[in-house]
Amino acid sequence: MLVVGSLAKRIHGLPVRADDPCLWYDAEEANAARVYRALARVGAPLDGVEIPDLADVTYEFRYTIRGEELCLLGGLDGVTFADAWPERLETAWGQIALCVIGPRALRASALAERV
């Protein structure tokens, strides 16, 4: 998964107008199944959600954890996950390792203008 959205923009030193914790996952079917299992383990509301939904690059899953909305994106306009992954920025938030969308992929995505 790659961190995208306003957190990614902040990490790259760009101004933000929103606070949207979003993660972008590779929507390839085997990975979508892993995402589904992970969501089930943390108790995300999966009523009506199936693995093929998560394998659709246009799919967006949102849910609230402890009052904060989390967004999972199957795809981004303007860039593929396979192209973005090699140029990711690896960093940490405290003890948590993070992979953040790289600056080139961020600029190529529609998120660059949305956030």
What is the pTM (predicted TM-score) of this model? Answer: 0.85
Asked if residue 106 lies in contact with residue 9, where contact means CB atoms within 8 angstroms, the answer is yes
Task: Pull the structure tokens for residue 99.
Answer: 């992979």
- How much is the pLDDT for 110? 65
* Domain positions in the chain: 2-110
The amino acid present at 92, given as its one-letter code, is A
CB atoms within 10 A of CB 66: 5
The amino acid present at 90, given as its one-letter code, is E
28-70 pLDDT, tens digit per residue, is 999 999 999 999 998 899 999 999 999 999 999 998 878 878 8
Largest CA distance in the chain: 38
